[in-house]
Amino acid sequence: MVGGRSIYLPVAPNMNRQEVDAIINCELCPRRCGVDRSSRRGFCQAPATVKLALVSLHQWEEPCLVGERGAGTIFFSHCTMRCVFCQNHEISSNGFGIEVSVERLAQIFIEQQSRGAANIELVTPTHYTDPIIDALTLAKSRGLTLPVVWNSNGYELTSTLDRLNGLVDIYLPDLKYFDDRIAVEYSSAPHYFDHASQAIRTMFAQVGRPIFNGELMTRGVIVRHLVLPNHRRDSMAILDWLYQTFGDDIYISLMSQYTPMFRAESYKNLNRRLTTFEYQSVVDHALELGIKNCFVQTGGASSTDFVPNFDGSFII
């Protein structure tokens, strides 16, 4: 919202058919709402124009993404899922953010590079795929050389990911659930594992095995999984699938940082922090499988102190 009103992106004469369809018949995510986002909102509630909540240098990502100054995170407003425990609910559900043009987004990418960011990390970007493609193409023509990280919830369509081939260097998807019943109950995301597993296969097919420049990853896939209280068996099933499918050709990031937030207190199984036993049993399962490329978190990761302050920094 700017000046108390929404600013929508009109269909311009130089847009190709694919870009026009994305605006007037949005099918970027598995929900396939088919709405005209220039005048209506679909499930994600996102407008057609890009909406940002925070641009920052983020120190709390996986070590291979941070470097000396931090990952160049760009948080996009709204989301294609409705996680009842979302720590970023101010922007994912409440929609806080500032609308920006493709030109401004491209400038922000260049500005992050000039600040010394280790990469350009696009956080929850799926519902803005088209303007992001345009902005990345523009920024690369103006000297953007940093690796581009696609940090998504994993609830993706392979047809959308296909359009990112050659533009994204590192995929950083969540793999939240193995059991579809849990995905529906906690995130209103039917067929989550079916879509996320196909998406991760597509991501790996595009970027392949990890490549590093020193300690920094420049290409590859890191799959994040947040271990939830009372659901360690689901986490183990996810590890089984990941290792059987990819072996050590990808990295896995096992997170212990679950903190009951947003609407989690209304769900009996989610209304507490993770126990040491629950998290350690999942880590032990990874070791038993023989997984080598795995990040783990130490004590103290479960805290609201790590939730970003969404204040619109560096956007305007």
Q: What is the pLDDT of residues 7-53, one digit of tens each?
A: 223 333 344 445 444 556 899 999 999 999 988 899 999 999 999 99
Q: What is the 3-state secondary structure (H, E, C) of the chain?
A: CECCECCCCCCCCCCCHHHHHHHHCCCCCCCCCCCCCCCCCCCCCCCCCEEEEEEEEECCCCHHHHCCCCEEEEEECCCCCCCCCCCCHHHHCCCCCEEECHHHHHHHHHHHHHCCCCCEEEECCHHHHHHHHHHHHHHHHCCCCCCEEEEECCCCCHHHHHCCCCCCCEEEEECCCCCHHHHHHHHCCCCHHHHHHHHHHHHHHHHCCCEEECCEEEEEEEEEEECCCCCHHHHHHHHHHHHHHHCCCCEEEEECCCCCCCCHHHCHHHCCCCCHHHHHHHHHHHHHHCCCCEEECCCCCCCHHHCCCCCCCCCC
User: Sorting pLDDT into bands at 50, 70 and 90, what band is 93?
Assistant: confident
What pLDDT, on the 0 to 100 scale, is given for residue 95? 85
What pLDDT, on the 0 to 100 scale, is given for residue 299? 67
CATH numbers and ranges of domains, the chain: 19-297 (3.20.20.70)
- Average pLDDT of 92-110? 95
- Average pLDDT of 169-183? 98
- Average pLDDT of 169-187? 98
Q: Look over the chain and give the mean of its residue pLDDT values, rounded to a whole number.
A: 91
- Average pLDDT of 235-250? 98
- Average pLDDT of 77-98? 93
- Average pLDDT of 222-231? 98
Query: Which range is most confident: 2-16, 83-97, 159-173?
Result: 159-173
Residue 55 has pLDDT above 60, yes or no: yes
What pLDDT, on the 0 to 100 scale, is given for residue 57? 96
User: Sorting pLDDT into bands at 50, 70 and 90, what band is 1?
Assistant: very low
Residue 54 has pLDDT above 70, yes or no: yes
What pLDDT, on the 0 to 100 scale, is given for residue 4? 31
What pLDDT, on the 0 to 100 scale, is given for residue 7? 28
User: Sorting pLDDT into bands at 50, 70 and 90, what band is 97?
Assistant: very high
User: Sorting pLDDT into bands at 50, 70 and 90, what band is 304?
Assistant: low
User: Sorting pLDDT into bands at 50, 70 and 90, what band is 310?
Assistant: confident
- Average pLDDT of 107-135? 98
pTM: 0.90
What pLDDT, on the 0 to 100 scale, is given for residue 270? 98
Residue 194 has pLDDT above 80, yes or no: yes
What pLDDT, on the 0 to 100 scale, is given for residue 314? 76
What pLDDT, on the 0 to 100 scale, is given for residue 94? 87
- Average pLDDT of 252-275? 96
